[in-house]
Amino acid sequence: MSKSILITGASSGIGRAVAFEMAKRGYSLALTARRLDLLETVRAEIVKRCPSVAVEIRPLDVIDYDAVFAVMRDLVDALGGLDIVFANAGVGLNDAIGRGQFERSRRNIEVNLIGAMATVDSAVGHFLERGSGHIVGNCSVAAFRGMARNSSYGASKAGLAHYLEALRVEVYRKNIDVTVLYPGYIDTPLSDNLRDRPFAISAEKAAAIIADKIERKVRSATVPVFPWNIIGRLLKVLPLGAIARL
Residues with active-site annotation: 153
Residues in CB range of 148: below 8 A, 6 or more apart: 96, 244, 246
Note the Cα 15 to chain centre separation in Å.
7
Burial class (CB in 10 A: 0-12, 13-18, 19+), 241: exposed
Q: Report how far apart, in Å, the C-alpha atoms of 64 and of each of 67, 94, 101 are.
A: 5, 23, 23
> Which 3-state string (H, E, C) describes 76-116?
HHHHCCCCEEEECCCCCCCECCCCCCHHHHHHHHHHHHHHH
Terminal CA-to-CA distance of the chain, rounded, Å? 49
- In whole angstroms, what is the distance from residue 87 CA to residue 112 CA? 9
CA proximity to 19, closest of 228, 40, 142, 239: 40
Tell me if 88 sits within 8 A of 14, measured CB to CB: yes
